[in-house]
Structure 1
Amino acid sequence: MNFERGTTNRAREISLKWISENLTDSKEVISLGLPEYDDRFDAWRVPLHHQNGKKVHLGEIKLNNQAESIVGFTEVSLIKERIKKIKDHKPEKAQKRRKTLFQPAAIPNQVILGNSLNVLSDFPPDTAQLVFTSPPYFNAKPEYSEYVDYQDYLDFMGEIIKKCHEILSEGRFFIINTSPVLIRRTSRNTSSRRLAIPFDLHVIIEKMGFEFIDDIIWAKPEGAGWNLGRGRRFKADRNALQYKPVPVTEHVMVYRKKTDKLIDWNLRNHHDPQLVEDSKILGDYDVTDIWKIHPGHSKIHPAVFPDELAKRVIQYYSFKKDLVLDPFGGTGTTGRVAQKMDRRFLLIDNEIRYFHHMKNYFEQLEIGGRVDFDIHESFQIK
């Protein structure tokens, strides 16, 4: 739709008049955002911001398709409540801005046997430029990991996430692959229990200083989850209330370390512009938030994610030469793929079998650069 040159100005004028009439006591702290035409609703929208330096969103004014009259707006009482909340909030002490990104420390590829809570404490800020991991699923596979109770598991994960936040570079990404877990029933007279792990972890991750960006769905081929037994009873009986779909998806949850800087800042202030250029994604890419990938398999580990999943995450969310951290290294998928994609890696795991598996793999490579192997002082044989 074509608009005359003065449409934007008219939208501003009408919006300012509405503010003067309806928010008289607060008009000095309100500024207008850029008026934009919303083609889905054939209307103009004018954002309202608070002039506190951060342009906190207060609401919006909606005008007709020619920006001639107001057809909707955020409730005045809600706008006033948001202004009051900002006024009552004590501003945090301003932090000194960095003019440029710190050049990543020259940390070589490392595989460490030990408890991640202890190991990560040894590393300084800006160690990692991407965290990608798939944590243990609470008591889903006892041979892999067991916790006292679900809260114990969540508390443990919270501590790990906090440590990752401390050593992740500003504005960089924390990506975690999880899915709901079925806790099998203990007897025929009890029900199984399904834990919404991704959603419980989401609350914890945000509290630890990360901003939610995306929830990418990893979709496996139909039938991939049939071995779990979920849905078999419904297939046989077809009774209402018994329906349970076979799970063939997992959540790849994407977060960014909170910062007042846009992602462009990470691009413009990178210590090596050529690496930014060399890391561009060329050719086909995933347009939607559904990634169709076959699951991974391992005779050593009961819950590996596929190389292809790691490849996409590393390609989309890091630059070449960045260090990729996986605090639950497992059999080394993240490190193996990172190395192939010209990234460095830091893998940590507390299971000696996986440590030896990773050590054997990387030692047999003829190329790929130096890899250090270390047994942390915190390691204890189970």
Structure 2
Amino acid sequence: MKFEKGTTSRARLLTNDWIKSTLPDLFDFIKLGLPEYDDRLELWRVSLNTKNSKQTIIGEIKLDKAVTKIVDWTKKDLIIKRLNKSRLDKNKDVKKAKNTSLIYPAPIPNKIILGDCIQVLDDFPPDTAQLIITSPPYYNAKPEYSEYIDYQEYLDFLRRVIVRCHNILSEGRFFVINVSPVLIKRVSRNSASKRIPIPFDIHKILDSVGFDFIDDIMWVKPEGAGWNLGRGRRFAADRQPLQYKPVPVTEYILVYRKRTDKLIDWNIRNHYNQELVKESKIVGDYDKTNLWYIHPSHNKYHPATFPDELVSRVIRYYSFEDDLVLDPFGGSGTVARVALQMKRRFLLVEKEPEYFQLMKKTLSPLFSPDLRVDFDIFENDKI
């Protein structure tokens, strides 16, 4: 979509005027992000960032399509709280730099927690996780009802989870998410099905929260794996032009890095234990392209499980031994099981009691007596 020249400048000007009138005492501490147009909502978004050395998003302003007025904004109290927290975090970083140049993770033991990850993750400190690997719940995947009012509510939910993951992930470490477009089947013969490009909307969220895009790895399944969706059957039957729809046999493994001005080798050189770095070195064969051929996994107790092979590759390429691997949507516990096999710690959160009990039943026999693993239930805002 094309806009007249000067549109982004007007958006910045309007936003600056709003800050001066609404938050005059904070004007010198806030830096505007790049104005971006939201095609879905037909409005402009301007992020409010801090001016300190580690910029943090503390709010957002929304403007109408014509950029003539502000239509929505983050609450003033919340902006102030986030700005104050950013100042405290900056002071902590300065103290860390003075005391040591080594990177020490938070000493979190292995945990599997029953609860809402949005609430649970708020209780964990910075540097809790050194790798996040997850696959979010599908958008309205259950045919008998809609889990979210609309697609925007689903994306807002994912944003809240990703913000909390960003807060507790160590600087410069990786967030890996398995996601794919979702097919919404037609409701009648006279209506069309719709395929929602979830990976591309999730990219916008990750970028705005503070992650840099690194790689798009394609998980390639055996041919015919997507026929159960019914996509492509009409074309296969009559071969009419315009009706061609390929059967999807891939999913995205999107790799992001928590935004930092430090290069990747900073995490290697400043690791607190160089022996662990040596032990984690990748030897033997490895994936040379972004096409990963992996058979899907099946579990009669869970409809969508990670293949062990997929998780092991991610852990192998993006973490060191003894790192903590986080999955905010724990599911059947694949990440915990594979992390344990690869000498990593783990933190899983799952809100469904039946899956929490499944993990407790299937994973407990794998833990040796000297390995501490906590199965916790989140309640009353405490773990």
Sort the TM-score into its range (normalised by shorter chain).
0.7 to 0.9
Say which one has the larger Rg: 1
How many residues in Structure 1 have an aligned counterpart in Structure 2?
Answer: 290
**Are the aligned partners of 1:215 and 1:253 in contact in 2 as well (CA < 8 Å)?**
yes
The alpha carbon displacement at 1:369 in A equals 1.9
Corresponding residue of 2:253: 252
The alpha carbon displacement at 1:360 in A equals 0.9
The alpha carbon displacement at 1:348 in A equals 0.4
Corresponding residue of 1:305: 306
**Are the aligned partners of 1:139 and 1:145 in contact in 2 as well (CA < 8 Å)?**
yes
Matched AA of 1:93: N
The alpha carbon displacement at 1:326 in A equals 0.1
Corresponding residue of 1:50: none
Cα gap change, 1:370 to 1:143, in 2 (>3 Å): farther
SS at match of 1:260: coil
Alignment of 1:171-190 (within 5 A): 171-190=172-191
Matched AA of 1:297: H
Corresponding residue of 2:141: 140
**Are the aligned partners of 2:320 and 2:344 in contact in 1 as well (CA < 8 Å)?**
yes
SS at match of 2:176: strand
SS at match of 2:219: strand
Matched AA of 1:246: V
Deviations 1:71-106 (A, max 9, x none): xxxxxxxxxxxxxxxxxxx99323556352441122
Distance 1:91 1:373 in 2: 38
Matched AA of 1:371: V
RMSD between aligned residues? 1.8
**Are the aligned partners of 2:333 and 2:363 in contact in 1 as well (CA < 8 Å)?**
no
**Are the aligned partners of 2:103 and 2:270 in contact in 1 as well (CA < 8 Å)?**
no
**Are the aligned partners of 2:268 and 2:277 in contact in 1 as well (CA < 8 Å)?**
yes
SS at match of 1:357: helix
Normalised to the residue count of structure 1, the TM-score between the two structures is: 0.73
- Please list every run of 5 or more consecutive structure 1 residues that lacks an aligned counterpart in the other structure: 1-89
- Please list every run of 5 or more consecutive structure 2 residues that lacks an aligned counterpart in the other structure: 1-48, 55-92
Distance 2:271 2:364 in 1: 32
**Are the aligned partners of 1:296 and 1:305 in contact in 2 as well (CA < 8 Å)?**
yes
Alignment of 1:142-181 (within 5 A): 142=143, 146-181=147-182
SS at match of 1:120: helix
**Are 1:93 and 2:52 matched, yes or no?**
yes
Cα gap change, 1:212 to 1:144, in 2 (>3 Å): farther
The alpha carbon displacement at 1:107 in A equals 1.2
Corresponding residue of 1:373: 375
Corresponding residue of 2:236: 235
SS at match of 1:291: strand
Distance 1:145 1:231 in 2: 25
Corresponding residue of 2:362: 361
Cα gap change, 1:143 to 1:190, in 2 (>3 Å): closer
Distance 2:147 2:201 in 1: 18
**Are 1:194 and 2:195 matched, yes or no?**
yes
Distance 2:280 2:145 in 1: 36
The alpha carbon displacement at 1:315 in A equals 0.4
Distance 1:331 1:158 in 2: 23
Deviations 1:217-260 (A, max 9, x none): 00001011111111111100101010011110000000000000
Cα gap change, 1:143 to 1:217, in 2 (>3 Å): farther
